[in-house]
């Protein structure tokens, strides 16, 4: 069975950009404004001859009433379905309550999760990732989804046993 990888994180962190790059499609709508992908979207991707399934989600921004909005619910369903979670944050902005909420959810559900610090293009990755360890996730991968930087180290996680 193909491994299932969920892309979760706040709106606008670059989930759909990463989904499109990894699935080599333009299926996931990429937008300059948050909240466009309202449902879960599935795509097939290959890495080193292994096929895996990616799930793109709309995102959780922490402003929800509880976590009951449709978008947040879709993100949590995607986490539940996944073998591995790529938890994306924006390396250019600070952590928000939404980020802590996601970290807490994956921890409580004991879901294997790696932190993906996106938009690292033009930044010093050590400086940009330093504060992210506050989320309590030890595997941190600096990437640029739009420039394609850092992807092979991240994707090695897909091949690793869960």
Q: Which residues are part of a known binding site for GTP? A: 9-16, 56-60, 118-121
What does 121 interact with, of Mg ion, ligand GDP, none (CB < 5 to 8 A by kind)?
ligand GDP
Q: Which residues sit at the interface with ligand GDP, rule CB under 6 A?
A: 11-17, 30-32, 34, 37, 59, 118-119, 121, 144-147
Q: How far apart are CA 135 and CA 122, in angstroms?
A: 23
What does 142 interact with, of ligand GDP, Mg ion, none (CB < 5 to 8 A by kind)?
none
Give the residue with the Cβ less far from ligand GDP, 5 or 145. Answer: 145
Least Å distance between CB 7 and ligand GDP?
8
Least Å distance between CB 162 and Mg ion?
25
37 binds Mg ion (CB under 5 A): yes
Binder of Mg ion out of 7, 8, 16, 90 (CB under 5 A): 16
Residues that bind Mg ion (CB under 5 A): 15-16, 37
């Amino acid at each position: 069975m193909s491994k299932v990888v969920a892309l979760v994180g706040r709106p606008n962190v670059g989930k759909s950009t990463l989904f499109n790059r990894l699935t080599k499609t333009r299926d996931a709508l990429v937008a300059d404004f948050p909240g466009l992908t309202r449902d879960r979207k599935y795509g097939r991707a290959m890495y080193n001859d292994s096929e895996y399934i990616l799930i793109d989600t709309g995102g959780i921004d922490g402003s929800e009433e509880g976590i009951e909005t449709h978008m947040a619910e879709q993100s949590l369903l995607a986490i539940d379905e996944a073998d591995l979670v790529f938890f994306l944050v924006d390396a250019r902005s600070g952590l928000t309550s939404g980020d802590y909420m996601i970290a807490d959810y994956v921890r409580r559900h004991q879901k294997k999760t790696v932190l993906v610090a996106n938009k690292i293009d033009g930044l010093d990755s050590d400086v940009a990732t330093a504060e992210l360890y506050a989320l309590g996730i030890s595997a941190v991968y600096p990437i640029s989804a739009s420039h394609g930087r850092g992807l092979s180290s991240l994707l090695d996680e897909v091949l690793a046993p869960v």
